Structure 1
Amino acid sequence: MRRTLFLLIFGLAGLGVLLWLGVWQVQRLAWKQGVLAEIESRISADPIALPPQVSEAVDKYRPVIVSGEMESGEIHVLVSVKQVGAGYRIIQPFSTEGRTILVDRGFVPTTAKQAERLAGPMEVTGNLHWPDEIDSYTPAPDIDDNIWFARDVPNLAAALGAEPVLLIARSQTDPNVTPLPVDTAGIPNDHLQYAITWFGLALVWAAMTGYFLWRSGARTESEAQ
């Protein structure tokens, strides 16, 4: 009897913890979906003129439209695009209203790394962004071959003589450069998978608890005989 009671208490406690973790992940899923919806709404809003002062805390994902001149000089950030393969993001300085910012023009394949691109006066529509792409495993840029491995905005700005303000173009700035607009695809949202995992473990735990209780009861009956 004591053994059966212990198994019941242990089984119910474990089941309760696993179910709680599953419910918590469902709650986190609802929260994350709300965050993503807010970001998507911000990304798709009507563009405005570039504010005189910008900051990551206030202006991340803000859609803006700028008129000015695409200057010479560019940085190539190594990237891979689904169903296309490896290539580079083209980052260039852009002069507008007496200031110079960075523009991420989009993607070119590796074979177009050294190709000439349109420069001069143009209008660019896109979203301000401060990508979080650097961790302890990110290699330092290969300055000699002009290959960078992350969009490190402060260092990009220093290398190109611009403000640490990055505009990700969603409009075409060159017929041979494919824009890679800001979206929420790169923001992880694995809470549904986690919830399914915890509920699945809870189901297995309940089945195993039932099995051990049955075996304990059968053993008790056998011992009683």
Structure 2
Amino acid sequence: MIRLPLIPTLIVAAAVAVMIWLGLWQLDRRAQKEAALARYAAAQGQAPIPWPEQVDPRDPPLFRRSGLDCHAVAGWREESGRNLRGEAGWVHIAECRTVEGSANVVVGWSSRPDRPNWRGGQVAGVIGPDRSRTIRLIAGQAPAGLLPARPPSLEDVPNNHLSYAIQWFFFAFTALVIYFLALRRRAR
């Protein structure tokens, strides 16, 4: 009979329990992501909504059509992005002042990071994710000198939680195998 060392056994058991819990958590996250993707797919066919000034970061209205009136451009930033043809380049994001606050608007795309000469106006498009404000509006039509930027796509939303769960379960199994091999070697 193999006598189990107490402290190493407790450490391995705790590590395996945490890895199994992480795998189960990833399976739960997978179900949550699938529900969100179903909501996003349904949102694409719904009627436009007014631009939401306040957004719940846990449930943003992504993929909904919306619009706003950009009274003035307070600033610009450029990010790498694609146009409707899939060409890589720069998307031009205006920080727009609105009646109730401000919003980020992807005005359009170009092959160069040069700032466009756009001062604001009515913008209609699709709501997409934004790193700094949770959401931004991707304009459906671009002003002169720019091409329309590619709107958000469901294919861009990763759902790799199943592979993460499998990894955690594999790590737990591997830890057990290594521990039992170490115990066997110790017993010799």
Q: TM-score range by the shorter chain?
A: 0.5 to 0.7
Gaps of 5+ in 2: none
Identity %: 22
Contact 1:90–1:107 (CA under 8 A) maintained in structure 2: no
1:89 aligns to 2:92 (yes or no): yes
**Alpha-carbon distance between aligned partners in 2 of 1:117 and 1:105, rounded to the nearest angstrom:** 8
1:22 aligns to 2:23 (yes or no): yes
Contact 2:75–2:96 (CA under 8 A) maintained in structure 1: no
Q: Report the equivalent of 1:223.
A: none
Q: Report the equivalent of 2:66.
A: 64
Instruction: Report the CA distance between 1:208 and its aligned residue.
Output: 0.9
Letter in 1 for 2:26: Q
**Alpha-carbon distance between aligned partners in 1 of 2:154 and 2:130, rounded to the nearest angstrom:** 12
**Alpha-carbon distance between aligned partners in 1 of 2:75 and 2:141, rounded to the nearest angstrom:** 18
Q: Report the equivalent of 1:181.
A: 151
Which of 33-42 and 82-91 deviates more?
82-91
Q: Which has more radius of gyration?
A: 1
Name the structure where strand makes up a greater proportion of residues.
Answer: 2
Note the 1:46-57 alignment, pairs <5 A.
Answer: 46-48=46-48, 50=50, 54-57=53-56
DSSP 3-state at the match of 1:36: helix
Note the 1:56-205 alignment, pairs <5 A.
Answer: 56-57=55-56, 60-61=61-62, 62-64=64-66, 75-81=75-81, 84-91=87-94, 103-110=105-112, 113=114, 124-128=123-127, 131-133=130-132, 167-169=137-139, 171-174=140-143, 176-183=146-153, 189=159, 191-205=161-175
Q: 1:71 to 1:16 in 2, by over 3 A?
A: closer
Instruction: Report the CA distance between 1:77 and its aligned residue.
Output: 1.4
Q: 1:40 to 1:214 in 2, by over 3 A?
A: same
RMSD: 4.5
Letter in 2 for 1:56: V
DSSP 3-state at the match of 1:79: strand
TM-score (norm: length of structure 2): 0.63
**Alpha-carbon distance between aligned partners in 2 of 1:92 and 1:5, rounded to the nearest angstrom:** 62
**Alpha-carbon distance between aligned partners in 2 of 1:204 and 1:46, rounded to the nearest angstrom:** 48
Contact 1:106–1:177 (CA under 8 A) maintained in structure 2: yes
Name the structure where helix makes up a greater proportion of residues.
Answer: 1
Q: Report the equivalent of 1:207.
A: 177
Instruction: Report the CA distance between 1:185 and its aligned residue.
Output: 6.3
Count of paired positions: 179
DSSP 3-state at the match of 1:56: coil
TM-score (norm: length of structure 1): 0.55
